[in-house]
Every structure is written in structure tokens, then in C-alpha cells.
Amino acid sequence: MNNKKVGTIIFLSVIVVFSSSSFVFAHPHSGQILINEHTHQPQTEYFPIDGIIGIEKTSLIFHTPEENSLPWAFVEGKIANHVSGYPVIIQIFKNNEPAHFAQTDVTEDGSYEYKFRVLNIENDTTTKLFDGDYNVTIFKVVYLNLDNLV
């Protein structure tokens, strides 16, 4: 096992739900997320499974502005030291209540993407499926670096 720091570049790429006054953007190098002009830092914890691999849990904030008019959002990232064969699990909560759960595959290079609807438009009627602030938890299986364990 190499001694590289285990990490994940996380994007809560909800740029597709931006408006002129409010948007979400994740900076690809710092992992910071800009929501309504405030910076939020994702929180990451590691939980060992067998001493070689473990669960990486990242918690971050997702925001859909009230004036959003675009129907899709997505969560994407690239996992450093991912373990092949394990999916990414995404859990979205609002006020500690489950709002949406998903699972998506990881490619050979460690990248993943999950796209989901935030608006439904049917017969000129718009229904908001997501509105406001949400807590997102992303679970990934990674090769461990003992420096990162909780």
C-alpha cells in the first residue's frame, strides 16, 4: 500500500439549478462549496472494515434556490484509492428526514455521477421535488491510509 493521502474530490454539482441570485458550486481543488455566497466545507470521516479497506463518509450541504427553474441536479466526484466493485451510496435528508437515497457505480478511474430531478414540469405545471437546504451524505469504499481514520 502506498502512503498517498486517501481523499476524494467531491462536487455537489448543482450548477444546473442555479439562478442569477443563488447557486451552488463546488470548487474542484478545495472541496469547498459556495451556497448563496457563503462557503461550506464538506466533512469527511473514515471507518475501517478490515484494516485494508474502509468506508469514506462525506457530509455536505445541497441547496436549491426558491427561484430555480431547471429540472436536474447531480452529485459527482472522483475517488482517490477507490476499491473496485463497490458502488457509491448517496443519502439526501431535509430536517433530518429522508428525502432521497441513491446508489451509483464507480468507473475504473474512480469517478461517479448521479443525476436526479429537482423539478417536475408536466402540462405547464411545475412541482418542486427539492426546495431549500438539504444534508447530503456520500458513502464510498476506499483503500485505507491509517492517517485518515476516525
Fold of 8-148: Immunoglobulin-like (2.60.40)
Strand order in the sheet with 111-117: 8-11, 72-79, 111-117
The stretch 27-49 carries a mean pLDDT of 65
Would you state the cell numbers that stand for residue 6, as one nine-digit string?
A: 486517501
Tell me the average pLDDT of the chain.
Answer: 76
Percentage, residues of the chain above pLDDT 70 = 70
pLDDT tens readout for residues 58-111: 998 888 888 888 888 888 899 989 999 999 999 999 999 999 999 999 999 999
Whether 12 has a pLDDT exceeding 60, the answer reads no
Residue type for position 9: I
Q: Are 40 and 120 in contact (CB under 8 A)?
A: no
| Cut 0.75: pTM above it | no
Q: What is the pLDDT of residue 148?
A: 53
Q: Between 42 and 148, name the one with better pLDDT.
A: 42
In this structure, the number of other CB atoms found within 10 A of the CB of residue 105 comes to: 11
Q: Rounded CA gap, 100 and 46, in Å? A: 23
Helix and strand totals (H; E) in the chain: 0, 13
Q: Which long-range contacts (CB under 8 A, 24 or more apart) does 101-105 make?
A: none
Would you state the cell numbers that stand for residue 28, as one nine-digit string?
A: 474542484
- Please name every residue paired with 35 in a beta bridge, in sequence order, or none if there are none: 24, 38
Q: Rounded CA gap, 90 and 58, in Å? A: 10
Q: Are 48 and 149 in contact (CB under 8 A)?
A: yes
Q: Rounded CA gap, 93 and 109, in Å? A: 29
